[in-house]
Amino acid sequence: MRRAVEPESKALAHPSGRQLPLSRASLDRALSKLGYCSRKQAELLIAEGRVRVGGKVASDPSIWIDLERDRITVDGERVAAERKVYLMINKPRGLVTTRDDPEGRGTVYDCLEGLDLPFLSPVGRLDKASEGLLLMSNDTRWANGLLDPASHVAKTYHVQVSPAPDEAMLARFRQGVVVDGELLTASSITVLRSGGRTAWLEIVLDEGRNRQIRRLLGAFDIEVLRLVRVAVGRLQLGELAKGKARHLAPVELAQLADDRAMSGSSGG
C-alpha cells in the first residue's frame, strides 16, 4: 500500500530547483492551497498535533502531500478544497497586506469581516502607505500565473508627487535608474495633472520589484504623497468604495487570462 506521506528524509532530499507535480505540496502549503488557513496558521496546527495525514498525526510541516490522493484532517474533520474565489479589494492606506501582524496593525483582512469566504491570500502586495486595487484568491495556480515575472501583466498607478517634475525630469524617469544594484524602470510615465508644487502621474509597470515606484522617484528626490493602484491589466478599480471588496465577474477573469497570455507572448 502506498504511504500517505513520504518519509521525512526523502522529503528533505528534494533539490530546491526540482519541478514537482502541481498536485504535490508541503503539508503547510497544502492546507493553504486547500483554502483552510495560512501557512503560518498551518504550522501552529501541526505543532499542536491537530493535523493528521492518512490517519496518522503529522508533526512536520515540510513533508510532501499529494493533494489529489492524501486524506488530510484537522481536529478529525476532513480538509477538502474550497470553492475558488476571486476578489478585488480597494485597499485603504494604513493597512498591511498580511493575515497576522505582530505589531497589531490593521490588515487587509479587516475589509473581509462579515463576509462568508474561505481563507484567501493576497495576490501580490501593496505596502502600508499605498492604496487601491488588491486582488485576493484561494486559487494559488491563478495567483502565481499573474505574479510570474514572465507574464508581464501591466499594473497602473496614479501617484501624487512633490515637487512637480518638469519634462527633463520625466525623461530621466523614463530612462530608469540603478538603485541598490537594480535597474528600476517604468513602462510609461505621464502627467495627469499638475498644480503648484504637486502633480499626479500615471505610472505603468510590467514587473513587480519591492517598492519600485517609491525607490525610482526617490532616486530623483521626488516625494510620493499618495500611491494608488488603479488597474491590473484591463481590470479597473472603478467606483469600488475604499475598504470594500467584490467578486470578479467571469468576463473580468477572462480578460486577465487574455492579458497574461498576450503580455507573456510579447515579452518573450
Which pairing describes strands 223-232 and 131-137: parallel, antiparallel, or unpaired?
Answer: parallel
In percent, the amount of the chain with pLDDT more than 90 equals: 51
Mean pLDDT of the chain: 85
| 91-128: pLDDT as tens digits | 999 999 988 788 889 999 999 998 988 889 899 889 99
127 is catalytic: yes
Distance, C-alpha 64 to centroid of its chain: 24
| 134-175: pLDDT as tens digits | 999 988 889 988 888 777 889 999 999 999 999 998 998 888
Considering the candidates 100, 127, 148, 166, report the single residue annotated as catalytic: 127
| 193-247: pLDDT as tens digits | 998 899 999 999 987 777 899 999 999 999 999 999 999 999 999 999 999 999 9
Cβ neighbourhood burial of 195 (10 Å; 0-12, 13-18, 19+): exposed
Q: Taking the model in full, what pTM does it have? A: 0.74
257, containing H or E segment: helix 250-267
Distance, C-alpha 169 to centroid of its chain: 31
- Report the alpha-carbon distance of residue 115 to residue 256 in Å, rounded: 24
